[in-house]
Structure 1
Amino acid sequence: MEPKKSKFNNSFLKYSTYIISIGGFLFGYDTGVINGALAFMSKPDQLNLTPGLQGVVSSSLVLGAFFGALGCGRIADKFGRKQTLRWIAALFTSSTILCALSMNFLFMSFFRFALGLSVGAASSLSPMYLAEISPEPVRTINVNKNAIFIVLGQLSAFCMNAFLGNIWGNWNPIWRIMIVSASIPAIILWINSFHIVGSPHWLLLKKRFKKARKLFSKLGFEKSTFDGIEQESKTKSKKDDDISWKSILKKPSLVYLLISGILIALIQQISGVNTVMYYGTILMEKVGMGQSGSLYANILIGLVSFVASIFGTRLIARFDHHRMLLISLFGNILFLALLGLVLRLSLFTQTITNALVLIFLALFLASHQGIVSPVTWLIMSEMFPGKIKARFMSIATATTWITNFIISLIYPLLISAVGTAVVFFIFAASNGVSALLSIFVLNAKEIQRAYRKNDLMSQESN
């Protein structure tokens, strides 16, 4: 058993896995850095942002991510996963620098939208790319690395914000340094993207069987596995490889898979987690923690999320994904409801209230970032058949971003209208809806397995 284990831990696969996961790190860093930077850029002598404009600046990245995720599938299918990742890294770098140089609200919103294109594309490409280069025994572990790197990116952004905000907090343009710091990992991703492995599955789609066979072998796939995939690819016609949307919509089981992917994406976002990621500093200032305390509190929350993601992904690898998802959604409901009660009832002193808010926020994020988020990314990366995987993955990922955009845009206005406590109650209820939606997708994985064996294809053609 030891030789087999070492084969799946070869340095070639490991190196590629960590480099591809930097896309997840940038996803986390660029969505988390606004948390601390927003308060500084909102000051009158900077971009002078009202609550409404704060929502536009924050959500402009998310809107860009929607279009980035939606268009990534076609580009990745045409030019390959490796080349697409390289372009994403270049866009990450240039748009990050331009955001840091923005002189007014309009420029910031535009360049944040451009940055969002790369964030959305990375969020769609990275888990799919990792799944395609990973043999079955390590696939879950490797895809989960992307989820861990997302949280690590958010934690790194929170640490950088706190460090810069507390040392140079009296210098209001410090937000520009916070934002431009994200260009460093983007440059690292671009440089290393020239040396990683391509996707053998993409090579099969392009009928490059000899090169695909060598790559499957180098990555540690069992010979019987790539023999079967290669034979199936050779027997398919050109028409089979290019399934039109009209053909897809005529197959009820494919439509079910697509709807299931969209619902999984909704489950991930309507929890309200990204309102804490984007507006955590402003939220905790409203609770009464102050600017310095709020920045440090974000580090604690980010650290809890990161540790939870490490342990959570190990649990996911051992237990049923759907069951773990349901348990964590009920945890979300409990912790958000307790947050709402603490703020609504006002039974405690300010110090105790601050401590309880931190504890319940940390537990909520541990539940979501430790289980819900990695489970949903993992399910989406595994549930779609190979020849339509990139397109379906793009739509599912785009759904996460358009939902995120709507919530991020209205959150500052919602807080101003109904108060923080009521907003937490609303998100507790939305997690209840997520638990109900997750029942719908229970059989999606079984349908996907049947498609691998061509069972349903033959049934529907009869």
Structure 2
Amino acid sequence: MTLPPDTPGPHTRRLDLIAVVATFGGLLFGYDTGVINGALEPLKADFGLTAVTEGLVTATLLVGAALGGLTGGGLNDRVGRKKALTDIAVVFFVGTLGCVFAPELVVLLVSRFVLGWAVGAASVTVPVYLAELAPTERRGTLSGRNELAIVIGQMLAFIINAIIANLWGDHDGVWRYMLAVAAVPAVCLFVGMLQMPESPRWLIARNRYDDALEVLMQVRSEDRARAEMREVELLAQEEKATHSGSLADLAVPWIRRLILIGCFLAMAQQVTGINSVMYYGTQLLTEAGFSADAAIVANVANGVLAVVGTVICLFWVIDRFPRRSLIIFGFCATTICHGLIMAAAAILPAGQTRAYIVLILCVTFVFFMQMALNAPVWVCLSELFPLHVRGLGMGISILCMWLMNATLTFLFPVITEMAGLQAMFGLFFVLGIVVVLVLLKFLPNTSGRSLEDLEEAFSRGEMR
């Protein structure tokens, strides 16, 4: 079905506002995962952490995120994308307070787990919400804004960590100040989502057709809204006649194949090691040869290059190149960077030269990751699954993503302490080669077509 063009107007500004509010979830995702980067050193001193308990403090949030990714998909299918994000904001706030006032390690780990649930639930809900509100022509750019919010959150965490460390680094419990900042965007997300509309595709799935049309009229021109309404209504009716929208759908071969592809792609994003760099960047640079004070400042470069790469991706790249080609290029570029970091760490003697070369290679890796890989992967996942199992498919994929993230995050300080940076980045290098080979064979392209067209093509077995 050919849709009329979506001409600019007040609805465009309304859609942009919705994206800004929803992506506070991404900002919280970024800040809460990135803040530990600078908070770990004072936290280690306060709680006497070893390499193993350091890995636990960081990875506990990610285990919670795995559970949040799995249950968050079901939550946003059950109560709607808007209500789910409102509830998630409350959990963000509660988890933050628990971390800030934790008197001992056990309480901190429990609070990090709760906070992780919110991170995981946001990671599965925000991309779906944006993808279902966005017109086909802007879906990549609009859905990808969540990734921009994530890296801005991480950059802000690095900058705020550096400022707090330099101003109040001699204070007891300075890490608590760093964690407390996350309460502010949690409140903004809660208040903002109260004013936002529900996803029209979720409303149609619940037979609320008038409400769905009302929402589409807010974010589309009138002709486009009515045309999309007819298309989505037709597809929803076909689904009701043939699908259950539950775990039973995993018995359908093409749906099962899409979920397997989604799970592999989600895990592949993590084996680039991007989050090991974003969580342990300060420690990584210290290991490379920087002093502790210099490392926390130099680490800001990772946050800045992440934002620059994401901006280039969203405004000049993501909707100009096929999603499949962009993702495969991104994995090739990051794998090459890993090989170079491995070689530098293994060959060069400890000192300033090695420190700056590792820093340059790290920020280059982060740039390519954000410019060609992170946002396209999140957008691809939000496009890949049919409407009736979109929450389930995203939930299972994000579960796999966070479990892989937690595993690598726990192992990073342990392997680095035992065998050095070259061993950890050698592992990333080998895994990257495997990922590229698998994606070349199995990854379909999801860009350039409506979500409904993609679903129809996949159901016919057209996976390219």
TM norm structure 2: 0.93
* Partner Cα distance (2:458, 2:291) in 1: 60
Q: Which amino acid aligns with 1:40?
A: P
Instruction: Deviation per CA, 1:186-235: give whole Å up to 9, x if none.
Output: 11111111011211111101101111112112210612221121233345
Q: Which residue number corresponds to residue 230 of structure 1?
A: 233
Q: Counterpart in 2 of 1:456?
A: 459
The structural deviation recorded for 1:242 is 3.1
2:19 aligns with one of 17, 20, 41: 17
- Residue 296 (structure 1) aligns with: 297
> What letter corresponds to residue 134 of structure 1 in structure 2?
A
Any stretches of 5+ residues in structure 2 without a counterpart? none
Q: 1: CA distance between counterparts of 2:376 and 2:239?
A: 32
**C-alpha separation in 2, matches of 1:146 and 1:259:** 24
Q: CA deviation digits over 1:247-269, x for unaligned, max 9?
A: x2332111110101001101110
C-alpha contact 1:41 1:172 (8 A) present in aligned 2: no
Q: Measure, in 2, the Cα distance between the counterparts of 1:330 and 1:430.
A: 11
Is the contact made by 2:289 and 2:352 (CA closer than 8 Å) also made in structure 1? no
Aligned match of 2:283: 282
Aligned to 1:110: 110
Equivalent in the alignment of 1:343: 345
Deviation sequence 1:288-309 (CA, Å, 0-9, x none): 2112111111111110111011
C-alpha displacement at 1:442, in angstroms? 2.6
How far 1:408 moved relative to its partner? 0.8
For 1:100-249, list aligned pairs within 5 A: 100-220=100-220, 222=224, 223-234=226-237, 236-237=239-240, 240=242, 242-246=244-248, 248-249=249-250
Decide whether the 8 Å contact of 1:81 with 1:198 is kept in 2.
Answer: yes
Cα 1:249–1:275 change in 2 (3 A) is same
Task: Pick closer, same or farther for the CA change 1:342–1:39 going to 2, 3 Å.
Answer: same
Provide closer, same or farther for how the CA distance between residues 8 and 251 of structure 1 changes in structure 2, counting only shifts above 3 A: farther
Tell me the amino acid that sits aligned with residue 231 of structure 2. Answer: G
Give the Å deviation of 1:445.
4.1
Q: Distance in 1 between matches of 2:242 and 2:353?
A: 63
- SS at 2:196's partner residue? coil
**Farther off after superposition, 213-222 or 47-56:** 213-222
Superposed CA deviations along residues 377-429 of structure 1, whole A, max 9, x for unmatched, are 01101111111111101111111101001111111111111111221111111
Cα displacement string for residues 292-331 of structure 1 (whole angstroms, at most 9, x for unaligned residues)? 1111111111101110111023312111111112222121
Equivalent-residue separation in structure 2 for 1:442 and 1:108 (angstroms): 40
In 2: Cα distance, 1:441 partner to 1:236 partner? 25
Residues 399 and 440 of structure 1, relative CA distance in 2, 3 Å threshold: farther
> Does structure 2 conserve the Cα–Cα contact (< 8 Å) formed by 1:8 and 1:135?
no
Q: Give the Cα separation in 1 of the matches to 2:441 and 2:114.
A: 35
Confirm or deny: 8 A CA contact 2:273 2:408 kept in the other structure: yes
Are the aligned partners of 1:271 and 1:431 in contact in 2 as well (CA < 8 Å)? yes
For 1:316, the equivalent position in structure 2 comes to: 318
Task: Give the AA of the match of 1:407.
Answer: L
Letter in 2 for 1:373: N
Q: Sequence identity of aligned pairs in percent?
A: 28
- Listed one character per residue, the Cα deviations across residues 37-69 of structure 1 (whole Å, up to 9, x for unaligned) are 0111000xx111111000001000000000001
The alpha-carbon distance between structure 1 residues 95 and 438, as it changes in their structure 2 partners (threshold 3 A), is same
Shift of 1:5: 4.0
Give the drift of 1:7.
Answer: 3.2
Whether the aligned pair in 1 keeps the contact of 2:289 and 2:354 (CA below 8 Å) is no
Please, which runs of 5 or more residues in structure 1 have no aligned partner?
none
1:398 aligns with 2:399: yes
Instruction: Report the alpha carbon displacement of residue 458 of structure 1 after superposing the two structures with TM.
Output: 11
Shift of 1:444: 6.5
Counterpart position of 2:258: 257
Report how far residue 441 of structure 1 moved.
3.1
Q: Distance in 1 between matches of 2:309 and 2:376?
A: 13
Distance 1:232 1:320 in 2: 25
In 1: Cα distance, 2:342 partner to 2:15 partner: 45
Matched letter for residue 16 of structure 1: I
Contact 1:207/1:234 (<8 A) preserved: no
The question of whether the paired residues in 2 share the 8 Å contact of 1:29 and 1:156 is answered with yes
Cα distance between partner residues in 2 of 1:401 and 1:235:
33
- Structure 2: distance between partners of 1:301 and 1:444: 30
- Name which of structure 1's ranges 63-72 and 417-426 shifts more when overlaid on structure 2: 417-426
SS at match of 1:242: coil
Distance 1:370 1:236, change over 3 A: closer
CA RMSD of aligned residues (A): 2.1
| Residues 1:324 and 1:444: Cα distance change in structure 2 (over 3 Å) | closer
| Aligned residue pairs, count | 452
**Aligned equivalents of 2:395, 2:258: Cα separation in 1:** 13
